[in-house]
Amino acid sequence: MYFELITIDLDGTLVDSVGDLHEAVNRMQNALGEEPATVEQVQNWVGNGVERLVHRALTQSMDLDADEVLFHRALTEFSDAYEAVNGTRSSLYPGVLAGLEWLASLDTPMIMITNKAGRFARPLLKRLAIDQFFDHQICGDDVAEKKPDPSALLLAARYSAAVPRRSVLIGDSVSDIRAARAAGFASVAVSYGYNHGQSVREGTGTWRPDAVIDSFEELPAVFKRLVVVV
């Protein structure tokens, strides 16, 4: 028996979207008269939703908040820019399509869970032609709290009538792993994502994943090891 529910993160897990995000951040910075960011900076800022990304771009800090007036202006500039470029510089990671096809063959509910707002996440899935794999898509503005809060995962479990301890989240970051642990889900981390410059293989405590993979093509072997016994 495999899992009753499979949940999957978007950016850094399924899709390498940093090219779109980098372009949108730099269009925002240009409109504000600020210095452009590097790809590496934007990659490290990704993972906690658009609002936090904009704060990080404005403050050059992971945790500080920008001036409120500046932030709201910047958020509008970023959102307009990102909507214009969304999907134009993004691609599926190697092995993702084959992995999704294998997961679909299990006939298990599959739900995409992202901190990204639905206005950006859903068109991206459609543009990359993987939206049909998911029974539901839960985005950052569908719940009161984003990952690492477990709300989105628990909502997914309710949607599919799945038991959390028989469910799994596949993600790339500490936020994913902590959300999975808080929800009682198993966690599988991909090694190639955007985990703020940290290796998921070095995770300890609440952000130690149950397994780490280098490609979605490794999922059949990993699922056999993590199989839930009733």
Q: What are the domain boundaries of the chain?
A: 5-16+91-226, 18-85
Coil, helix or strand at residue 51: helix
φ, ψ dihedrals at 143, nearest 5°? -135, 160
Sequence-ordered list of residues with C-beta below 8 angstroms from that of 229, at least 6 positions apart, any chain: 1
Does the domain at residues 5-16+91-226 carry the CATH identifier 3.40.50.1100?
A: no
9 catalytic residue (yes or no): yes
Residue 229 has pLDDT above 60, yes or no: no
CA–CA separation, 149 and 225 (whole Å): 26
Rounded mean pLDDT of 69-75? 97
Given the structure tokens 């996440």, which residue do they identify?
A: 121
- Whether 5-16+91-226 and 18-85 share one fold: the answer is no
Rounded mean pLDDT of 71-93? 97
- pLDDT given for residue 230 in this prediction: 40
Note the pTM of the prediction, 2 decimals.
0.92
Residue 203 has pLDDT above 80, yes or no: no
Rounded mean pLDDT of 208-230? 88
Instruction: Centre a 10 Å sphere on the Cβ of residue 224 and count the other Cβ atoms it contains.
Output: 9
For 22-35, what is each residue's pLDDT tens digit? 999 999 999 999 99
Q: Shortest CA distance to 180 belongs to which of 1, 9, 30, 2?
A: 9
CATH superfamily label, 18-85: Putative phosphatase; domain 2 (1.10.150.240)
Query: Catalytic residue among 9, 11, 16, 172, which?
Result: 9
Beta bridge partners of 16: 91
